[in-house]
């Protein structure tokens, strides 16, 4: 598949992730009497990844997340040459979705006041539950590491050669998006109160930049560093402990 096809798939997939996830948080989470709450927002984020993984995952790999692209590169599943272009279009997709959400909110009954920080991530006073920087870093690192391990495991469908013979398909082909989407749902159920859940630098960057919330922008570094560290740790753990190489007799 040509690079421009893969980049558009990543742009659109990340656009959909932010539009669906952040959009559900802004429009539906606290809607009077009918709000979907944390459960609904968590499910919305999971559904965005599940749907786009099926729709365009076969084109680009379905990363939709700079930390995942970096982790898959470290894990030997993604080429270095495409890493920067993927990250650029992922951030662009997140910003485009955030801009659309801000436009819709600004034209609603509360005007521009409804935009707020556009469901940005944060720690301290910017954390939904008031969690401090160390708690947020620990959460984001562990959650992203787990997500990367699920992605690598669920997509590990190649044949495995061992001394006893060849095992066909380490993971069931075609079901990976379900596992990944449910994993992201679970991650949000755990960590929305802590950091508003990032595990995705693009998801954090779009809302922070478009809302121009100074607190979110000043704390944005955390939501780049922690997910990237977590993704690298998850990739190394899977590659060293759970991959074909680690299971050879």
DSSP assignment of 178-240 equals HHHHHHHHHHHHHHHHHHS--S-HHHHHHHHHHHT-HHHHHTTTHHHHHHHHHHHHHHHHHHH
- pLDDT of residue 133 exceeding 90, the answer is yes
- Residue 206 in this model has a pLDDT that exceeds 80: yes
Rounded Cα distance between 6 and 63, Å, is 10
Residue 122 structure tokens? 């944060």
As a whole number, the mean pLDDT across the chain is 92
Per-residue pLDDT tens for 149-180?
A: 999 999 987 655 444 444 555 677 789 999 99
- Reduced to 3 states, what is the DSSP secondary structure of residue 249? coil
Is residue 231 scored above 80 in pLDDT? yes
Which pLDDT tens digit goes with each residue over 89-125?
A: 999 999 999 999 999 999 999 999 999 999 999 999 9
The residue-averaged pLDDT of 189-207 equals: 98
Tens of pLDDT, residue by residue over 21-73, are 999 999 999 888 889 999 999 999 999 999 999 999 999 999 999 999 999 99
HSE (side-chain half, CA atoms, 13 Å) at 75: 31
229 or 30, which is more confident: 229
Structure-block tokens of residue 112: 């521009």
State whether CATH 1.20.1080.10 applies to domain 3-247. Answer: yes
Tell the residue number behind the tokens 């970096």, with chain if given.
70
Mean predicted confidence (pLDDT) in 76-84: 94
CB 204 within 8 A of CB 122: no
In this predicted structure, the answer to whether residue 225 has a pLDDT above a threshold of 70 is: yes
**pTM (predicted TM-score):** 0.92
Q: What is the pLDDT of residue 173?
A: 72
Nearest to 6 by CA among 50, 45, 44, 59: 59
């Amino acid at each position: 598949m040509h690079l421009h096809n893969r980049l558009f798939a990543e742009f659109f997939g990340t656009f959909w992730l932010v539009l669906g996830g952040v959009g559900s948080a802004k429009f539906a989470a606290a809607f009077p009497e009918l709000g979907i709450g944390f459960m609904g927002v968590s499910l919305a984020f999971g559904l965005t990844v599940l749907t786009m993984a099926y729709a365009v995952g076969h084109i680009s790999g379905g990363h939709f997340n700079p930390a995942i692209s970096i982790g898959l590169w470290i894990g030997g599943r993604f080429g270095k040459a495409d890493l920067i272009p993927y990250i650029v279009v992922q951030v662009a997709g997140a910003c485009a979705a955030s801009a659309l959400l801000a436009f819709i909110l600004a034209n609603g009954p509360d005007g521009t006041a409804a935009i707020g920080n556009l469901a940005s991530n944060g720690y301290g006073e910017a954390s939904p539950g008031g969690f401090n920087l160390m708690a947020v870093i620990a959460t984001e690192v562990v959650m992203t590491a787990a997500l990367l391990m699920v992605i690598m495991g669920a997509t590990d469908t190649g044949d495995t050669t061992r001394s006893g013979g060849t095992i066909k398909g380490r993971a069931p082909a075609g079901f990976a998006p379900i596992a990944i989407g449910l994993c992201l749902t679970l991650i949000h159920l755990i960590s929305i109160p802590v950091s508003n859940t990032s595990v995705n630098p693009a998801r954090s960057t779009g809302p922070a930049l478009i809302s121009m919330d100074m607190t979110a922008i000043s704390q944005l570094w955390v939501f780049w560093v922690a997910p990237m560290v977590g993704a690298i740790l998850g990739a190394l753990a899977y590659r060293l402990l759970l991959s074909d190489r680690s299971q050879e007799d």
